[in-house]
Structure 1
Amino acid sequence: MCEIYGFSGKREKELNNDLREFYSHACDHPNGWGLALLDQSVPEITREVCRADRSELLSGRLSLPVTAKTALAHIRLATVGNEDYDNCHPFTAVDDSGRSWTLIHNGTIFESDKLNRYVFRQKGETDSERILLYLVDRINEATAKAKRELNAEERFEILDEIISNSSPKNKLNLLIYDGELLYAHTNFKDSLYERKDGDGVTISTRPLTDSGWRPVPFTTLIAYREGERVFTGADHHHEYIFDPSSYKPLYLAYSGL
């Protein structure tokens, strides 16, 4: 699969130590890496199709202070989509209100007819990019119906419904940022943790230090604003159970067999 990382805080924090540890896991996730610094209206995103711990670009980036109030990072183990720049996370899209959305995903979509139409709109080949395109379309539909920009609670309710309805039979470990809220969701046991301290909240697939980590609420969408949890969705109870045989049709499809 992949690993994901996020930070949300009230003030800028230097993230180098966490990022070095996070990217050191790339030996198990060698198919690309990405970093998004999200304090500006236009996300600052760096992506590369190579193993993160062998990247000169990333090494140079981490040799200088990396500071942010909000950040996302990703290392990729390809399951859906080839080893290609357009398949590297994070993915971004802008809704009709001009709001930028940024998404990273550790998981796989096995069943979702609603995402199929985005195969012809996306730049890459991943199911993760299709998730982002779908949720932005849903935001746009609600915005048009309301005839105004949606507020934070309304946006959260839409994502809560989308993720709840998409979770059966699919692995959805997600971090999404909409310019105000950092959303987090997991439905795979022991695969997403959070650490809360005076700087804010850090979220990672695996704990990055020896202490202070606890599991992210399970099968439940949550959202943070400046490091504080502000919304908690309903528990949808759709746990993903790993089944190696479920990947065979995906591998056959993408190998052309």
Structure 2
Amino acid sequence: MCQLLGMNANTPTDVMFSFTGLANRADEHKDGFGIAFFEGRGLRHFVDHHSARVSPLAEMVRRFPVKSDNVIAHIRKATQGQVALENTHPFQRELWGRYWVFAHNGNLKEFEPRLHAAFKPVGQTDSERAFCWLMQELAKAHCAVPSIAELTHTLAELMPQLNAFGTFNMLLSNGQALWAHGSTHLHYLQRRHPFGRVNLQDEDLSVDFAALTTQNDRVAIIATEPLTRDEPWVAFQPGELKVFVGGELMSA
């Protein structure tokens, strides 16, 4: 299945070390890649239906000096929908005057919800249908712009309905928080002072975060499988929803 990467931080942060670790797994997950960076209320969104190993766009992203406090990335191994740009994660929609970004790892079988005109999928994936349904249900549940706590409560009520159709590991962000739901495989890590040297799991590449951060920095990384080999990654429990704000895990 696909691979997910999310980052949430209390200050704009470079995610390229983690993205390199994710892209190294693109030999198996070769059906497209995408990454979205929030900058305030704005969004930089890059997708390509070619593998992150060979895509010139992926190479440009690696060299692009983007720092963000909320990032979602994805490499695709197609299960539903052809290999095409419109089926490439992450997907984006607008709700309450904010961009929302979503990426999914899994397979939802026979998931065909009724969707109204405001949220319709462009492609053929179960993932985009699930995203449109989530946006529709959030809009129905809240008349005014809800708080992060209210959104988390509503999402916690919606997750079991999607789990009933199959595997649903997902990342969701509106630039204010990062929600992560683990159905089968998802892990998270919180980095904070004192920072040190870290080594990638799948490549002989390391970085000394102590030289790049301050003692006030906090960063949370979420990934399908641990990206580094010398940090305390924590596995999600099946059906667990977590929300990260300012680089910290908040109580759901």
Map of 2:202 onto structure 1: none
Question: Following the alignment from structure 1 to structure 2, what is the Cα–Cα distance between the partners of residues 115 and 185?
Answer: 23
Unpaired runs of at least 5, structure 1: 233-257
1:196 paired with 2:190, answer yes
Report if aligned partners of 2:189, 2:220 keep a CA contact under 8 Å in 1. yes
Question: Which one of the candidate residues 218, 224, 228 is aligned to 1:205?
Answer: 224
Structure 1 length-normalised TM: 0.82
**Using a 3 Å threshold, how does the CA distance of structure 1 residues 210 and 84 change in structure 2: closer, same or farther?**
same
- Aligned twin of 2:107: 108
Which residue does 1:220 correspond to in 2? 240
Does residue 93 of structure 1 match 2:112? no
The C-alpha deviation readout for 1:88-134, integer Å capped at 9, x for no partner, is 00111112x2122110000111143536779x931111111111111
- Paired position in structure 2 for 1:175: 171
Report the counterpart of residue 252 of structure 1 in structure 2.
none
Name the SS for the 1:25 alignment partner.
coil
- C-alpha separation in 2, matches of 1:14 and 1:42: 17
Percentage of matched positions with identical amino acids: 26
Equivalent pair of 1:30/1:77 in contact (CA under 8 Å): yes
Query: When the two structures are aligned, how many residues end up with a matched partner?
Result: 225
Bigger fraction of residues in helix:
1
Offset of residue 47 of structure 1? 0.2
Structure 2: gaps spanning 5 or more residues: 193-217
Distance of 1:167 and 1:182 partners within structure 2: 19
1:139 aligned partner, one-letter code: L
- So what's the TM-score if we normalise by structure 2? 0.83
Map of 2:147 onto structure 1? 151
- Output the CA distance in 1 between the equivalents of 2:47 and 2:69: 20
**How far apart, in 2, do the equivalents of 1:217 and 1:9 lie?**
23
The one-letter amino acid of 2:18's match is D
Q: Per residue, is there more strand in 1 or in 2? A: 2
Shift of 1:67: 2.0
| TM superposition shift of 1:3 | 0.2
Structure 1 equivalent of residue 209 of structure 2: none
Structure-2 residue corresponding to 1:4: 4
DSSP-derived class of the 1:102 partner = strand
